[in-house]
Structure 1
Amino acid sequence: MTMTDMRRRAPATERNREPIAELLRAVLPDRGTVLEIASGTGEHGVHFARAFPGLLWQPSDPDPDALASIRAWRIEAGLPNLTDPVHLDAASERWPIDSAEAIVCINMVHISPWAATAGLMAGAQRVLSPGAPLVLYGPYRRLGVPTAASNEAFDASLRARNPDWGLRQVEDVTAEAEGRGLRFERLFEMPANNLTIVFRRG
């Protein structure tokens, strides 16, 4: 199998990468390291590293096949600011990264046990400097806001695959973040019934 053959593809990435990049332009710093948690296929990392040449983009994932895909996309892209991916389990108390100027986490919170979200907040508290952003993207529930039928169906399919997965309440995620010294800054409505939530390290 060639390195190119190891590249995975996620159709949703092509649809959401530019709306996410547009939002990131208003949130990310001009310089420094961005740690991407649960980088998946690696397609987002290539797009964002290309969109933000002043930032060092550090992808990560706990899955060996995902790491192979990320590495293959990185080699194919040849971008100087896209680093080799690292093995990182968000739920772990030890991360391979000591510091970052921002953390971006796309579509992890609903496809992982709650321990991963709790670990993400604890890790962000350790790694981010005061004022640095943690950016979450994906489908969420909100108190008092009807959930789209497509998201309800998605939630049911996730829970059928793993009862520890499923759409989370924005309010629960925010409470977990605030318990780790991260303050809620803003929530953005995104295409396809997704949300982006921005927290800042206190």
Structure 2
Amino acid sequence: MSETQTSEVQIADPRPCIDPNPLSPYVAWAGNRNKDPILSVFKGVFPKTGNVLELASGAGLHINYFAPHFPEIRFQPSDYDADVFETIKAKRAESGNENVADPVRIDLTDEKTWPDPKDGLYDAIFVINIFQVAPLAIIDGISALGAKLLSPAGFVAIYGPFKVKGEYTTPSNEAFDKEILAAGVKEWGLKDARDLEKAANYHGLALKHRFDMPANNFILQFARA
């Protein structure tokens, strides 16, 4: 497993209260904070051409920010909540992104909602900032979907804050986790990267790289074992 270090960025905007609603000020703040560091990594790992699927696209901030940098890639946004689709389309129109497809509904717990591999495979699948407010079981869906839909050289990239080998990587991540847990919502809280790895292994995927990101986050990159 290799690690790539990205440069720190300084964000002056105050953080809104934690709210996982995809249209919330907190999600917009987090997206604007991390979009450039994530883009920097994706520029090094995305293919020059192909198809890329985003899971849990939310308001569509990331996919519409990334798309102009990869004009030969077709980007497919998706989400469990179809109510966000008009927001994704509006951001697409605002950015003039002709390489962003109409969003589709994907429920990671229901394989019947997943795209049919006969309609095409994906060279990359990515998901950003869901595991601190989503059940660990979602990695089973992501891994199974990846095993079904990835091209032979494709990969899954998962961005977020994680524990590593049961430990917090920094005091700030421990404080962040305590803040999340204080909300008292079942399944909220930082997950351990090794638990994601175990679930991915079960579906034939292996952790290939862990990219260290600003603000004590990571990108975990999984590909076929």
The yes-or-no answer on 1:126 pairing with 2:144 is no
Of stretches 169-178 and 57-66 in structure 1, the one that deviates more from structure 2 is 57-66
**Matched ranges for 1:1-202 at <5 A:** 10-98=28-116, 99-143=121-165, 145-159=167-181, 160-202=183-225
Counterpart Cα distance in 2 of 1:65 and 1:147: 36
Which structure shows the bigger proportion of residues in strand conformation? Answer: 2
Q: Counterpart amino acid of 2:104?
A: V
Paired residues of 1:90 and 1:116 also in contact (CA < 8 A): yes
Q: CA deviation at 1:134?
A: 0.5
The match for 1:3 is none
| Most deviating of 9-18 and 43-52 | 9-18
**Is the 1:60–1:85 contact (alpha carbons within 8 Å) kept by the matching residues of 2?**
yes
Measured in 2, the distance between the counterparts of 1:89 and 1:154 equals 27
C-alpha separation between the residues in 2 aligned to 1:32 and 1:111?
30
CA contact (8 A) 2:81 2:105 kept: yes
Contact kept, 8 Å, 1:141 with 1:167, in 2: the verdict is yes
Instruction: Measure, in 2, the Cα distance between the counterparts of 1:8 and 1:46.
Output: 17
Flag the structure with more relative contact order, 1 or 2, with Cα contacts below 8 A and sequence separation at least 6.
2
Q: Which range moves more in the overlay, 115-124 or 65-74?
A: 65-74
**Aligned partner letter, 1:162:** V
2-structure distance, mates of 1:56, 1:35: 9
Contact 1:8-1:41 at 8 Å conserved across structures: no
Q: Secondary structure at the match of 1:130?
A: strand
Q: How many residues align?
A: 196
- From the superposition, tell whether residues 124 and 95 of structure 1 become closer, same or farther in structure 2 (CA, over 3 Å): farther
State the TM-score, normalized to the length of structure 1.
0.89
> Which whole-Å CA distance do the structure 2 matches of 1:53 and 1:164 have between them?
38
Contact 1:103 1:124 in 2 (8 A): yes
SS in 1 for 2:112: coil
Q: Offset of 1:61 from its aligned partner? A: 0.9
Residues 43 and 73 in structure 1, CA contact (< 8 A), matched pair in contact too:
yes
Unaligned runs of 5+ in 2: 1-22
Identity of aligned residues (%): 39
Distance 1:147 1:68 in 2: 38
> Which ranges in structure 1 are unaligned for 5 or more consecutive residues?
1-6
Deviations 1:66-112 (A, max 9, x none): 32321221122221101111111222223342321210111122221
Dislocated runs of 4+, deviation >4 Å:
none
Residues of 1 paired with 2:132 and 2:139: CA distance? 9
